[in-house]
């Protein structure tokens, strides 16, 4: 019993010494009978190796490895010492672990690998080390995200180049069908988008929901990304699976600069999706005054209607966007065109008591009163 108690006591000392990097105390505890595989119940069942790796104590790590400690022991989250070394950027420790035959493609409880950790944290030397040791760039975690996706999310261009140089990971898709270029576009990493294109990414690739990189960049209003994509032959009038184009999405979300760039590159201002809605109708229904003015200036059809006959002006009136309605009226929108249910902008203005709009609509020369 006393021997068991002594071993437990020494194991506690071993873990404590490993935390702080006290090599003499580590050696003393091991000689006194400490269990080199003992666990710390207060921290995810860490072993002494986990603690020394996380805290960057390479001398302790080497000491433990020389005893034949289990280099691939896992904590309660399934993480190995190599996971921790990569996550915290301890290159020399990772090299020692790999030298002790640590599993380079160890999977934690979320199927996250050391390579994913190094890629996420932007540790280019660690990425190179892992790749040279045979780590796979094709593995994905439970969310379908691979190392190249993690590098892209955080804009680590040099790591992307390393990953792609080993195999064609440039088109690796996550569970949503997003390729790295989709992720770079939605995050607004224009330099990363350019890097990916240079490495062979398809600017017109489509995810599971029908989005191209240009569509997601336009949705977020990342104008520099939009410019990079268009300069590299992205299809400006590509139709989303639900019928939207980059311009209609940008207009609906109020991204004026993005809309302007798209139009400059040839976006169709009068493109109508399956329900008949045009970019001008989208912008008017959301009260995007500056975009409405831009579209009108660029030749958008002010009298276009949806499949049920609703015009830009009728949408603006129904939703109470009075300044938008005034812009449309100034441009000559007809307040007396009815939808399929015989509703007109004029009737809506009367019902909602929009006095100023009524006054404008009652005049044959609507624009002169704006």
Cα–Cα nearest to 346, from 355, 231, 11: 355
Instruction: Return the pLDDT at 366.
Output: 45
Counting residues of the chain whose pLDDT is more than 70, the rounded percentage is: 95
| 3-class DSSP state of 38 | coil
pLDDT digits (tens, 9 = 90+) for 111-131: 999 999 999 999 999 999 999
Alpha-carbon distances, residue 21 vs 13, 65, 69, 73 (angstroms): 12, 14, 17, 19
Which pair of structure tokens corresponds to residue 196? 């990916």
The answer on pLDDT for 70 being more than 50 is yes
* The pLDDT of residue 263 is above 60: yes
* pLDDT at residue 365 in the model: 52
Using DSSP's 3-state secondary structure scheme, residue 302 falls into: coil
pLDDT in tens, 139-177: 999 999 999 999 999 999 999 988 887 755 788 888 899
CA dist., res. 111 & res. 248, Å (int): 39
pLDDT of 4 above 70: no
- What is the pLDDT confidence band of residue 369, given thresholds at 50, 70 and 90? very low
- Domain map of the chain by residue range? 271-370
Average pLDDT over residues 257-277: 95
The Cα–Cα gap between 260 and 318 comes to 27
pLDDT, mean of residues 248-253: 94
Structure-block tokens of residue 235: 């299809």
Contact residues for 110 (Cβ-Cβ < 8 A; gap 6+): 78, 141, 142, 143
Show Cβ contacts of residue 220 under 8 Å, excluding neighbours closer than 6 positions. 185, 186, 188, 255
> pLDDT digit string (tens) for 5-27?
567 889 999 999 999 999 999 99
pLDDT tens digit string along 314-367? 999 999 899 999 999 999 999 998 989 888 999 988 888 888 888 888 875 544
**202 has a pLDDT exceeding 80:** yes
- φ, ψ of residue 368 to 5 degrees: the values are -70, -15
Give how far Cα 287 sits from Cα of 268, 326, 332, 358, 359, Å: 20, 11, 18, 19, 21
CA distances in angstroms from 364 to 85, 339, 347, listed in the order given: 76, 21, 16
Structure tokens, 50: 């986990």
Query: Quick one: pLDDT at residue 298?
Result: 96
pLDDT above 90 (res 57): yes
Residue 354: per-residue pLDDT: 83
- 88, two tokens: 């915290």
**Its pTM surpasses 0.85:** no
pLDDT in tens, 275-319: 999 999 999 999 999 999 999 999 999 999 999 999 999 999 999
pLDDT at 93: 98
Q: Please, are residues 329 and 313 in contact by the beta-carbon 8 Å criterion?
A: yes
Confidence class for position 370, pLDDT limits 50, 70, 90: very low
Rounded Cα distance, 223 and 217, in Å: 7
Q: Could you give the count of Cα atoms lying within 13 Å of 126 in the half-sphere of its Cβ? A: 29
Domain range 271-370, CATH class: mainly alpha
Alpha-carbon distance 57 to 323, whole Å? 65
From CA 234, how far away is CA 247, in angstroms rounded?
13
């Amino acid at each position: 019993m006393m021997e068991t108690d002594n071993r437990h006591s020494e194991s506690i000392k071993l873990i404590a010494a490993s935390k702080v990097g006290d090599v003499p105390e580590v050696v003393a505890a091991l000689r006194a009978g400490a269990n080199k595989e003992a666990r710390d119940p207060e921290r995810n069942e860490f072993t002494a190796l986990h603690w020394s790796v996380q805290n960057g104590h390479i001398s302790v790590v080497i000491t433990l490895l020389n005893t034949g400690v289990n280099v691939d022991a896992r904590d309660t989250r399934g993480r190995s010492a190599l996971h921790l070394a990569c996550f915290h950027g301890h290159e020399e420790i990772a090299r020692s672990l790999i030298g002790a035959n640590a599993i380079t493609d160890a999977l934690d409880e979320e199927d996250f690998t050391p390579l994913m950790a190094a890629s996420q944290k932007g540790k280019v030397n660690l990425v190179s080390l892992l790749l040279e040791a045979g780590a796979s760039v094709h593995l994905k975690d439970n969310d379908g995200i691979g190392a190249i996706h993690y590098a892209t999310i955080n804009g680590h261009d040099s790591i992307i180049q390393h990953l792609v140089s080993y195999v064609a990971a440039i088109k690796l898709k996550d569970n949503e069908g997003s390729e790295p270029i989709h992720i770079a576009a939605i995050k607004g990493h224009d330099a990363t988008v350019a890097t990916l294109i240079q490495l062979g990414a398809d600017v017109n690739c489509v995810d599971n929901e029908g989005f191209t990189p240009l569509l997601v960049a336009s949705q977020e209003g990342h104008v520099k990304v939009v410019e990079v994509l268009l300069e590299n032959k992205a299809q400006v009038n590509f139709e989303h699976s639900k019928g939207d184009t980059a311009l209609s999405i940008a207009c609906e979300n109020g991204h004026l600069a993005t809309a302007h760039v798209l139009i400059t590159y040839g976006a169709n201002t009068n493109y109508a999706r399956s329900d008949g809605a045009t970019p001008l109708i989208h912008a008017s229904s959301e009260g995007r005054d500056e975009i409405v003015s831009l579209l009108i200036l660029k030749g958008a059809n002010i009298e276009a209607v949806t499949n049920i006959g609703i015009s830009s002006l009728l949408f603006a009136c129904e939703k109470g966007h009075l300044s938008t309605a005034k812009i449309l009226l100034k441009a000559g929108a007809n307040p007396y065109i009815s939808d399929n249910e015989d509703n007109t902008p004029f009737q809506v203005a009367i019902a909602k008591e929009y006095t100023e709009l009524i006054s404008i609509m009652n005049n044959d020369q609507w624009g002169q009163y704006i």
